[in-house]
Structure 1
Amino acid sequence: MIFSPTLDPWRTLAALVLEAAAGYPDWLHERIPHPVTWAGRGISFLERSWNRPDWPEALRRGLGVVTLLLIAGIAAIAGWLLDSYLLRNFWLALITLLLATTGLAQRSLTAHVAAVSAALERNDLDGARRAVSMIVGRDVAALDRSGVAAAALESLAESFCDGVIAPAFWLLAFGLAGLFAYKAVNTADSLIGHREPRWRAFGWAAARTDDLLNLIPARLAGALLALAAGGGWRVMGRDAGKHASPNAGWPEAAMAGGLNIRLGGPVAYDGLPHPRPWFGDGARPDAAALRRGLTVYKRACVFFWMLLAAGGLLWRH
């Protein structure tokens, strides 16, 4: 068996390198929608069917738990079956690397943030707003150059955890079953894990489970960003706990401290102001800070690869 289904740093590293090189090509997405969209459709269908506003809150919370168990359970079973079948010989095992790349987002994250950076560099504020709207949920129409750069950097830092470190961590721990289950939970959190009245009860399980699954990866992501930036440890330790999320503050504060800038602060969602704390002590970011942030992110990805390679050399099955 070329790979082991779990605790195999080499398979996780190979999947990361392959995804960074190829990603999920547009031509493939046109023919076979990304697997995350499958989970999203299932979650949306169940939410429309079961999250009735006239039903008791306790019932909706319970149905939200069932929804999460169904979607994550199906994803985990599919991953386990694929690993059980494909890890029988060399050529089939290579297919698991292709499947694993669907849960990773190094390349797509780089491309989306680079598009924002390129627009800012050529002083195309409208283009930068359009580009950043692809990766953030906040209102972008009124953002100035600094606001666009901050939004992109915050998304870059948080997605380094959600799209790179966390899925790789659960791939390493439990193979494709862990990776697929994590992506299902993370997708559920994105769709229904909100605090607004419509989703508060139904999405409770998704939000809490996503918090739990990201506890270790978020702190690892923050440490890697601080290491890659050559600083930011003090700000990360001081400011991470300010975030409403128990996890997102770690990579965001590390990015702010590492670049010596300020992130966070008030934003608007659907026209309504949303207060947030500040992270870091420096000036608000500009196009140059965003460019440096992309470099820090790429360096952190490489450091993570090196960590996995070291683990592969030390680990013995």
Structure 2
Amino acid sequence: MTGICEGRVAIVTGAGRGLGREHALELARQGAKVVVNDLGTTLNGVQEASGPAHDVVALIRAEGGEAVANGADVADFEQAAGLVRQAIETFGRLDVLVNNAGFVRDRMLVNTSEEEWDAVIRVHLKGHFAPLRHAAEYWRGEAKAGRTPDARVINTSSGAGLQGSVGQASYSAAKAGIAGLTLVAAHELGRYGVTVNAIAPSARTRMTEGAFAEAMAVPESGFDAMNPANVSPVVAWLASGSSAAVTGRVIEIEGGRICIEEGWNHGPAIDAGERWEAAAAGEAIEKLLVDAALPEGVYGA
């Protein structure tokens, strides 16, 4: 296999199904050697007997690519270290980390349990941090040894994290955290030859088919905008050497539409030069809101 990722070594987490599966297959088609990570759980986080990561590895090998399976829990700090170590020991290096693993436990805020909140935050947010932390340590060591990497991190945020989504408070909070993590990591790791970006995909997966069944339905004919494979070419380009000038960005992909998200920016401001009185502060805020951009509507509102 040859392509824009020829010779690169990539980890894709949550790659047994859905978006991660398509990312792993596309990266392999573009010439990357892939570590296919998947814990093999149900949508609610329950361990399954089958190993979907091995199925994806078999598909990649059948097409002439190179891949190995990994069953680490990416939110476990030591297992995440082992995942990074496996890539380096198997293929001699690591060039790309695609953080994709996650699941949902959708509830209205007033019905969300502590266990549900903690589980979603753990898998999405810590599950991004832990592999990134260990990959970053490896890349820093390479840079300090005079072998500056040309490395890529592609995180997975969501429109839910950027605009909010009714019934998905924990998921929205985790995905917003991932967007913030992406910005910080892009600045901190740039000195080591690493770019860090995030995608906000819209696609038919196990996580979306229940919440947005009508919007996610397969069309009878024509272009299937919700096919998760539509997202993966953007991931492959971000993983390639061609994207070296792009970092700290969140890119939304839905069908054939690509959108650069524009996050929090300083808007209209008034500086009194002294401590505000409460009533005067309120008047100032009301004036500023006249000139401020209106936030986009929350999904499901």
What's the TM-score once normalised by structure 2's chain length? Answer: 0.30
What's the TM-score once normalised by structure 1's chain length? Answer: 0.29
More helix as a share of residues: 1
More strand as a share of residues: 2
